[in-house]
Amino acid sequence: MLIAPGSRLDPYEIVMPLGAGGVGEVYKARDTRLGREVAIKVPPANRGSPRGILP
């Protein structure tokens, strides 16, 4: 499931998808607290783990 640009995950604003594969999806995002660009990896929904941000 792709997350739309402009969506928010806590303090992170999604900018664009970077890639997807068997272990999840990676997005370019902006940390709104620190004002810098980050990469966020989201595990796939079918792996039995909740969708979220991995440390």
Contact 14, 3 (CB under 8 A): yes
Contact 54, 26 (CB under 8 A): no
Contact 54, 48 (CB under 8 A): no
Confidence at residue 10, expressed as pLDDT on a 0 to 100 scale: 94
Confidence at residue 55, expressed as pLDDT on a 0 to 100 scale: 55
State which amino acid sits at residue 50. P
Beta strand residue intervals within 1-55, DSSP E: 8-9, 12-21, 24-31, 36-42
Q: How confident is the model at residue 5 (pLDDT cuts 50, 70, 90)?
A: very high
Confidence at residue 2, expressed as pLDDT on a 0 to 100 scale: 86
Confidence at residue 50, expressed as pLDDT on a 0 to 100 scale: 56
Spans of all domains in the chain: 8-47
For residue range 20-53, list pLDDT tens digits in order. Answer: 998 999 999 999 999 999 999 999 876 555 555 5
Whose tokens are 């991995």? That residue is 54
Question: Residue 19 pLDDT > 60, yes or no?
Answer: yes
